[in-house]
Amino acid sequence: MPSIDDVTDTPDELSDDQAEDLLEDADLVQDMMGEVCPYPQVEAKKGLQQIDSGDLLVQETDHVPCTENVPRAVGDDADATVWRSGDATYRIYLRKR
C-alpha cells in the first residue's frame, strides 16, 4: 500500500531536535495556522523579500498542502525543509539563497 510520501513531492523532513534548533535561529517566523493556499505562498514570497541571503524564514501551518505548495511557489529563491508534528502542525523552513 503506498503512503502519502509516495505520491507527494514534499521537501526533506527534519527531526524534532533539528526543527527546534532551527526555529530558535529563524530570522522571520510567519504564523499561517488556519490559512489555506494561496495565502501562505504569497506571504512566503513577501517574507523572503524582507530577509537577506542565508537567512531563515519559518512558516507554521496546519494546512498539509502548504508543505508542498509553499516550497514549489518560492522555487529557486530558497532551500526548503519541512517538519511534521504528531498533532497536525507543520513547519516549513525556507533558507533564502
The pLDDT profile of the chain, 97 residues, written as one tens digit per residue, is 666 556 556 678 899 999 999 999 999 999 999 999 999 999 999 999 999 999 999 999 999 999 999 999 999 999 999 999 989 999 999 999 9
Residue 48: give the domain boundaries: 16-96
Q: Which residues contact 43 (CB under 8 A, 6 or more apart)?
A: 30, 32, 35, 59
At residue 13, the pLDDT reads: 87
Strands (E), 34-77: 56-61
At residue 43, the pLDDT reads: 98
- Asked whether residue 3 is domain-assigned, the answer is no
- Asked whether residue 88 is domain-assigned, the answer is yes
- Asked whether residue 2 is domain-assigned, the answer is no
| CATH code at position 22 | 3.30.110.40
Q: What is the pTM of this model?
A: 0.88
> Considering its fold, how many domains does the chain have in total?
1
* Per-residue cell: 70: 509553499
